Amino acid sequence: MKIENSFLLILLSLFLLLPTAFAHEDENFFDTFFIHPLVEGTGYNVVNTATFAIILIAAAFGVYKLLKKLQIKIDRNFLIGVIPFVALGGILRAFEDFSEASGTARNFFFVSPLIYVTIFVIAFVLLLVSTTAEKLSKKKIGYYKIWFALGAIIDIFFLAQFRFANAFAFFMVLIITVIWVVLFVVAKIIAKNKFSKLNKFLTAENMFIILVHLFDAATTFVALQYLGYFEQHVLPGFLIGLLGTWAMFLLKIIVVPIVMYFFDREMKNEKEMEKRTFLKLVVLILGLGPGLRNWLRMIGGF
């Protein structure tokens, strides 16, 4: 943890050293890079992107330590239980877009970065409810099943509020995602017979996370290529401006597998398995939430 803490300290120090000269003449630094993008929905910039990344890393380590202190094992069951809440982030963000399009004032608890706090509170409270229910049932029902069910009920409630207005966006994203799924299934079959190292890497866990990010890329591609949306994030926006809308697929298919491979290679032993699973969960969150938000927004026609 010493290296991780040092890394966070360096990033934070670099941010604090940024000169206020970057701010507009009639505004202060904080208003320019944080308040106005949040209030006006104008997207991200280098400064708030770097800051939110630092906060995300610090929060991830904090949540990990909290789960370990509560003796909650971070394994496949935990991943299954938490998936509805990962999805809830994208659903609530799209719900906020829908509400704003209908004339409702912006709810900052459903907008980045506060939406992460909202989702954490909901998920954590229901996790405690689920673990308590498991104990009362004398472990006849796994906490993750209860947790998953509670999260799914909330997801369904909010999904029921949306309208289906754009069949093209729905099917286009679905078709592109299915194509990627088929390609990965074929790759898995070939690797199983001929490439042992690739086969070992293409676990169900890794494939699911990579495909989730390719789903996210598909939503971005369809939104920008056909529906006139714009990319809010700094790095994707730069790459799309340089290479075109298909650049998101290139970014995902290169970066995400490398990250998964690094996790698998560096955290092999039994003691590090939970940390590896948790870090993969963070990567999953960064793909599933934005992807669902994009897809629901396009389907809703707002």
Per residue in 122-178, pLDDT (tens digit) is 999 999 999 999 999 988 899 999 999 999 999 999 999 898 999 999 999 999 999
CB atoms within 10 A of CB 1: 7
Residues 21 and 28: their CA atoms lie apart, in Å, by 9
What are the tens digits of pLDDT across the range 240-276? 777 888 889 999 999 999 999 999 998 888 778 999 9
Residues 281 and 273: their CA atoms lie apart, in Å, by 12
Q: Name the residue type at position 66.
A: L
Residue 62 in this model has a pLDDT that exceeds 70: yes
Q: What is Dmax (Cα atoms) for the chain?
A: 65
CA torsion sign for 27, 28, 29, 35 is: negative
At 104 the pLDDT is: 81
Residue 34 in this model has a pLDDT that exceeds 90: no
Whether pTM > 0.75 for this model: the answer is: yes
Q: Which two tokens stand for residue 239?
A: 């790459």
Residue 59 in this model has a pLDDT that exceeds 90: no
What are the tens digits of pLDDT across the range 80-129? 999 999 999 999 999 998 888 787 877 877 877 778 889 999 999 999 99
Q: Name the residue type at position 218.
A: A
At 80 the pLDDT is: 93
Q: Supply φ then ψ for residue 160, to 5 degrees.
A: -65, -15
Which range of 5-9, 36-40, 167-171 scores highest in mean pLDDT? It is 167-171
Identify whether the C-beta of residue 212 lies closer than 8 Å to the C-beta of residue 272: no
Kindly state the average pLDDT of the residues 199-212. 95
Q: What share of the chain is helix, strand, coil (3-state, %, to 5)?
A: 80, 0, 20
Q: Which two tokens stand for residue 204?
A: 């169900």
Residue 23 in this model has a pLDDT that exceeds 60: no
At 27 the pLDDT is: 53
Percent of the chain with pLDDT over 90: 53
Residues 120 and 70: their CA atoms lie apart, in Å, by 15
Range in 4-8, 16-20, 59-63, 100-104 the model is least confident about: 16-20
CA torsion sign for 131, 280, 206, 175 is: positive
HSE-up (13 A, CA, CB side) for residue 77: 12
Helices of type H across 35-166: 36-40, 46-69, 76-101, 114-136, 143-159
Average pLDDT, the chain: 83
- Residue 211: name the closest of 245, 192, 169, 183 by CA: 183
Residues 21 and 18: their CA atoms lie apart, in Å, by 8
At 176 the pLDDT is: 98
SS3 category, 66: helix
HSE-up (13 A, CA, CB side) for residue 222: 26
At 10 the pLDDT is: 47
Residues 247 and 254: their CA atoms lie apart, in Å, by 11
Looking up tokens 């003796």 gives 71
Residue 206 in this model has a pLDDT that exceeds 90: yes
At 151 the pLDDT is: 97
Identify whether the C-beta of residue 67 lies closer than 8 Å to the C-beta of residue 269: no
- Residue 88: name the closest of 34, 18, 150 by CA: 150
Percent of the chain with pLDDT over 70: 80
CB atoms within 10 A of CB 51: 18
